[in-house]
Amino acid sequence: MIPAHPELQGGPVYLDYNATTPVDPRVAEAMWPYLADRFGNPSSGHAYGIEPQQALLRARTRVAALIGAEAEEIVFTGSGSEADNLALRGAVLAAKTDRPHVITQVTEHPAVLEACRAVERLHGTHVTYLPVNHDGLVDPAALAAALTERTVLVSVMAANNETGALQPIAELARTTHAHGALLHCDAAQAAGKIPLDVRDLGVDLLTIVGHKMYAPKGIAALYVRHGVTLEPLVYGGGQERGLRAGTENVALDVALGAAAQLAVQDLADGGDRRIAALRDRLHAGLANRLPGRIHLNGPADGRLPNTLNISIDGTRGHELLAAVPEIAASTGSACHSGDHTPSPVLRAMGLDDARSLAALRLSLGRWTTPDEIDRVADLLVTAAGSE
């Protein structure tokens, strides 16, 4: 039985779990001793360093277990953006190629896209940005056609943060490896929500983000397969296999380990199926009461169990959510000085501006209940029907 979360009681229904998750009270309890009495430096050889050192190893082992890796392949970082940059820029700078080539796709997270633009600008790297189809998926044949003898890295996310679309990572990895390149996968949205195994996927690098899976902000990890060489972003005392210098933040590392352990148990208990059933209940509740007006953005199958991205004809997403402050959710649009523009992700999928601007991202999580789902459906139907 999952304990109730005190911060979610009595407030708006929280359906923005893809933006960030509440810290699980069990995670907070696990990390607290390392903010208080167990303060030692894990590199110290005396009594105060032993327990933090052991805690660090346990945390690394638990994160590794979530994705089928070995503890030594886990590098703790301060954010998913840092992990993505370490993977991408680290691979480019370590490459023994005069003008390295990187491939990504147009709906990647900005952490990857901006890192690609940086290596283009700063290091003369050639970057190819693959298009996606109407469901937001990369065509493996397009990847095969884009690979060259200079390609050092392909970076494709496991799941899109807006639509939940799951990319065919295993197939993309096989294609990438056939050309001798590495595959990096940003799994920020997927880790803990669906089963992931780095061996089955065939990835060389994979990003995990704590605040997307009930740990605090400020902690993430990069899986670095044995044998992969990266240039560090931060130089210093040799921590994290020499890839990320700086005294380890043991409390946050422990938090990520605890969150990973809880995710393993939750998946084993069918938590992903429970959430998928609630997502589908919400979708059906809206579609049945607003017939012909509900449009699913992204694939019907092959998406995250917690993510529902829909457009409601005759509405604008930001106006609809403003009309129902009882719901905490998001849209795919960006606001610049009061002017809302369509989501680049939905535009890349070929959606027109009207449908893109009507989009709502409703992302469920560990504490979402059937009563909340029914309440959200009622609120949205009422608000959409009055426009």
* Unique residue bearing structure tokens 């886990």: 74
- Cα separation, 63 vs 103, in Å, equals 27
Q: Which two tokens stand for residue 149?
A: 């003898």
Assign 283 to helix, strand or coil. helix
Q: Active site includes 116?
A: no
- Cα separation, 345 vs 334, in Å, equals 11
Q: Which two tokens stand for residue 169?
A: 């990572």
Q: Which of 335, 341, 382, 387 is catalytic?
A: 335
> Who's near 70: CB < 8 A, 6+ residues apart?
64, 226
CA atoms lying within 13 Å on the CB side of residue 41? 8
Mark residue 128 as left, alpha or beta (left: phi above 0; alpha: psi -120 to 50; beta: remaining). Answer: beta
Q: Which two tokens stand for residue 31?
A: 């990390």
- Cα separation, 303 vs 289, in Å, equals 24
> Do the strands 307-312 and 294-296 form a parallel or antiparallel pair, or are they unpaired?
antiparallel
> Where is 101: in which H helix or E strand?
strand 101-105
Q: Which two tokens stand for residue 221?
A: 């990890």
Q: Are 94 and 119 in contact (CB under 8 A)?
A: no
> Who's near 10: CB < 8 A, 6+ residues apart?
none
CA 57 vs. chain centroid, Å, equals 24
Catalytic residues: 335
